Structure 1
Amino acid sequence: MLDVFFTVDVEVWCGGWDDIDSKFPDAFQRYIYGTTSRGSYGLPYQLHQLREHGLTGVFFVEPLFSTRFGLDPLTEIVGLVQEHGNEVQLHLHTEWVDESRQSLLDSVTGKKQFLRYFSLEEQTTLIKAGARLIEEAGGPCVKAFRAGSFGFNRDTLRALARNHIAFDSSYNASMFGPDSGISPGVPLVEPVEFEGIYEYPMTVFHSSARSLRHVQLTACSYREMEGLLWQALRSDRRAFVILSHNFELLNGSMTRPDDIVVSRFRKLCAFLDRHRDCFRVRGFDGLIPSLACTQPAPLVSPVWKTGLRILEQGIRRGFD
């Protein structure tokens, strides 16, 4: 049986950094609830679909925005996720550090986009602050972490160990993973232990262009995801980590549902429900790590599925 992690990075953005206090209420409604003239397709829709199929998602919630706008919106997010029986874990976007009304780091006066740009001591402080905010918002003691935009490094794992957070899912071999200082020269695609932390990397695959691509709801067709799941099962992989976001079921301008991505999500949930004898959709709570002795090659998706995905993506852009 293959452990499948359906992970959702939960974030709120204001479309820039000017006048964010007046923009935030609308941004919160748009990003979290995804209200359109055809219904709401944000976080509650995702949670409902998962519950309808008896699946558990891992929601990596970004809490630093609450140091600017107060704890109530974060409490609302954490409550929604927990109400539907899903996991709340920690996600950090460090762009919020210099916007905070609290003193997170005395030395920061401008934007630093990625956690990896901070020292070990600074990362330790920010992760501690984020975990505390999750708990203050009614969430659990954090057990897993993902850096914003996968922008982590080896110091991040050391900072997690200092904060007693056992699991990380920041490694992405298609983005910042290879130069993170973890496993140099050997891309990670299976769970391993580094610095006392269990790393569960993003699942990546080769498309027809041979470039690596991570498995994300907006970036892969349903046929690709289904085929990759079967391939991972047949090759005795230990984990399959899928990425989504709370706003991914909306089009780029967030004015209507993205029907193709909504269909992918519904089909994926139905597939995982139907084949629960093969795929165990789970979170990090109570997880006993199953670690790889060696790192296999990334999965491969056939050319014809890549072609169909390119066609789908073109159709999506045409309706944006």
Structure 2
Amino acid sequence: MRTQVAITIDTEFSVAGAFADPERRRPIGEANVTCPVGGREQGLGFLLDTFARHGTSATFFVEALQTAWFGDEPMGAIVERILGAGQDVQLHLHPCWTAFRDPDWRSLLAGGHPDDNCDGRATAELVVLIEEGRAALQRMGASKPIALRTGNLRSDRNIYRAMAACGLPLASNVGLGLNRPHDPALRLRGGRHWIEGVMEVPVLSYGQLAIGSQPADRLFTITATSTAETEGLLWAAREAGAQTIVLLTHPFEFIKGDRLDPARQRVNRINQRRLERLCAFLADHDGEFESASFAQAARGWLAAPDEPEPRLHAPLLPVLGRMVENKANDLIPAL
């Protein structure tokens, strides 16, 4: 059996500081996904072109509650492009967008910013959010979703209970390197796990030597993980018998600079090379690895028992190399 590598892209518009400064700032729509620099799309366009060139399958978790501000059309055009490229679309939810349904939303900010987390809510409330998001995604042209990713990778058992009630069998709500759930049983580094009748497929978190402010658990993302670390982790996963590895990225990870000022944005060439090399690696080692979308893998995953979480660690030298590379990427615009 080949090790499945699920590249997932959280595809979302940005509130862009509208809650912090409602008089001067407004949400950013398509540009937060397409990420144009120099007349070319360095976000969505780059992703779709790269996947097509290497024959890579991926899942785009598309945020659907932003329709409260933008309506269906802007994200609907993006969904159409993703599906037209043969890629998978599933559901992503950021509840803060629902605040914009109130015409007097600015006055609500006196009580603080809207809650953007799905955990800590009643099951019935979550059912409503899921159903609203699913209906919006289908209006945009997507098939009925089978998988959910909560915003900010937040999880608790009520989320899975609500998913089960809505008939959503797959989740990718856990990312231990970003958020540690209150429930110790949900602190999962990877694998696949049945929770309240739903299969959770966490974003991989791997271990590294804690240096300074660097935490011991690190989330497997394009920005966080160098090519040397990625390839080392995949071979270690293969050796350990891991069946499923999930990576998370966003379209805006492939640009850098001031995301609120298009004139100050630049191509993030280091992150683009990391994705290119990952896709090339999977194509070059297709006897051992395969890219797999959630839609493609669902039947096999749902027919299987739990897969234990892998305990993977990045060696010290690649970690140090990545720290230097990421710092240089932050400081040198041309990289």
Structure 1 residues 202, 167: closer, same or farther in 2, change over 3 A?
same
Q: Tell me whether 82-91 or 253-262 shows the greater mean CA deviation.
A: 253-262
**Matched residue, 1:267:** 277
Count how many residue pairs are aligned between Structure 1 and Structure 2.
Answer: 311
Looking at structure 2, the residues matched to 282 and 194 of structure 1 have their Cα atoms a distance apart, in angstroms, of 22
Unaligned runs of at least 5 residues, structure 2: 104-108, 260-264
Q: CA deviation at 1:291?
A: 3.7
In structure 1, what residue type is equivalent to 2:233? L
Unaligned runs of at least 5 residues, structure 1: 103-107
- Aligned residue for 2:194, secondary structure, equals strand
**Matched residue, 2:98:** 97
Structure 1 residues 19, 69: closer, same or farther in 2, change over 3 A?
farther
Structure 1 residues 96, 234: closer, same or farther in 2, change over 3 A?
same
Q: CA deviation at 1:182?
A: 6.1
**Matched residue, 1:163:** 166
- Residue by residue over 1:16-68, the C-alpha shift from the partner in whole angstroms, topping out at 9 and shown as x without a partner, is 114599844xx324212211126320112101110111111100000111122
Looking at structure 2, the residues matched to 294 and 219 of structure 1 have their Cα atoms a distance apart, in angstroms, of 24
Task: Kindly indicate whether the alpha-carbon contact (under 8 Å) linking 2:60 and 2:89 is maintained by their aligned counterparts in 1.
Answer: yes
**Matched residue, 1:319:** 332
- Aligned residue for 1:117, secondary structure, equals coil
Looking at structure 2, the residues matched to 252 and 278 of structure 1 have their Cα atoms a distance apart, in angstroms, of 37
Q: Percent identity at matched positions?
A: 26
- Aligned residue for 2:7, secondary structure, equals strand
Q: CA deviation at 1:198?
A: 0.6
In structure 1, what residue type is equivalent to 2:315? P
**Matched residue, 1:306:** 319
**Matched residue, 1:39:** 40
Looking at structure 2, the residues matched to 182 and 78 of structure 1 have their Cα atoms a distance apart, in angstroms, of 36
Task: Kindly indicate whether the alpha-carbon contact (under 8 Å) linking 2:127 and 2:162 is maintained by their aligned counterparts in 1.
Answer: yes
Match of 1:281 among 276, 283, 291: 291
- Residue by residue over 1:85-126, the C-alpha shift from the partner in whole angstroms, topping out at 9 and shown as x without a partner, is 100000001111111369xxxxx9960120113211111110
Match of 2:247 among 242, 247, 252: 242
Instruction: Spell out the pairing of 1:171-190 with structure 2 (5 A cutoff).
Output: 171-179=174-182, 181=183, 183=185, 187-190=188-191
Task: Kindly indicate whether the alpha-carbon contact (under 8 Å) linking 2:192 and 2:308 is maintained by their aligned counterparts in 1.
Answer: no
Instruction: Spell out the pairing of 1:139-158 with structure 2 (5 A cutoff).
Output: 139-158=142-161
- Aligned residue for 1:205, secondary structure, equals strand
1:133 to 2:136 alignment:
yes
Task: Kindly indicate whether the alpha-carbon contact (under 8 Å) linking 1:174 and 1:204 is maintained by their aligned counterparts in 2.
Answer: yes
Q: CA deviation at 1:134?
A: 0.5
Superposition misfits of 4+ residues, deviation over 6 angstroms: none
In structure 1, what residue type is equivalent to 2:295? D
Looking at structure 2, the residues matched to 89 and 217 of structure 1 have their Cα atoms a distance apart, in angstroms, of 20
- Aligned residue for 1:183, secondary structure, equals helix
Q: Tell me whether 252-261 or 85-94 shows the greater mean CA deviation.
A: 252-261
Task: Kindly indicate whether the alpha-carbon contact (under 8 Å) linking 2:13 and 2:32 is maintained by their aligned counterparts in 1.
Answer: yes
Structure 1 residues 291, 224: closer, same or farther in 2, change over 3 A?
farther
Task: Kindly indicate whether the alpha-carbon contact (under 8 Å) linking 2:119 and 2:155 is maintained by their aligned counterparts in 1.
Answer: yes
- Aligned residue for 1:175, secondary structure, equals coil
Task: Kindly indicate whether the alpha-carbon contact (under 8 Å) linking 2:16 and 2:25 is maintained by their aligned counterparts in 1.
Answer: no
Looking at structure 2, the residues matched to 244 and 295 of structure 1 have their Cα atoms a distance apart, in angstroms, of 21
Question: TM-score, normalized by length of structure 1?
Answer: 0.91
- Residue by residue over 1:102-155, the C-alpha shift from the partner in whole angstroms, topping out at 9 and shown as x without a partner, is 9xxxxx996012011321111111011101111011001101110001122110
Looking at structure 2, the residues matched to 57 and 21 of structure 1 have their Cα atoms a distance apart, in angstroms, of 36
